[in-house]
């Protein structure tokens, strides 16, 4: 398998982060969220913002976990390419 394209990396990271957010919060309860992913010169940058339900006191922790999950998903993407 060829190295993932920049688009593949960004899409994989964004989908992983979004998936984690909605695994932690019911989608209808999330007022707003933003996942910004850049991949330039081999450097991945993931920024996650969640405007979570008023009673959610762990939105920042979930945002950090979503960013880590995005990184792990990209690491797995590259590992799969290396194994092929």
**What are the tens digits of pLDDT across the range 13-63?**
999 999 999 999 989 889 999 999 999 999 999 999 999 877 777 899 999
Rounded to whole angstroms, what are the CA distances from 13 to 20, 36, 54, 55, 57? Answer: 11, 9, 27, 27, 24
Of 36-40, 65-69, 78-82, least confident by mean pLDDT is 78-82
Q: Does residue 21 belong to any structural domain of this protein?
A: yes
Q: Is the pLDDT of residue 1 over 70?
A: no
CB atoms within 10 A of CB 35: 22
Chain position carrying tokens 């984690």: 20
Q: Quick check: helix, strand or coil at residue 15?
A: helix
- What ranges make up the beta strands (E) of the chain? 32-40, 43-51
Report the domain count for the chain: 1
Higher pLDDT: 1 or 46? It is 46
Q: Does residue 36 belong to any structural domain of this protein?
A: yes
Chain position carrying tokens 């979503």: 66
Q: Does residue 56 belong to any structural domain of this protein?
A: yes
pTM of the model: 0.91
In this prediction, residue 82 carries a pLDDT of 86
**Residue 62: which CATH number?**
3.30.300.100
Range of the domain at 16: 6-83
């Amino acid at each position: 398998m060829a190295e993932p394209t920049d688009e593949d990396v960004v899409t994989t990271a964004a989908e992983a982060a979004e998936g984690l957010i909605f695994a932690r919060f019911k989608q209808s309860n999330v007022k707003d969220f933003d996942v910004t992913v850049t991949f330039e010169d081999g450097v991945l940058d993931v920024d996650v913002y969640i405007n979570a339900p008023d009673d959610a006191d762990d939105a920042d922790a979930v945002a950090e976990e979503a960013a880590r999950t995005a990184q792990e998903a990209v690491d797995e993407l590259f590992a799969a390419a290396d194994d092929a």
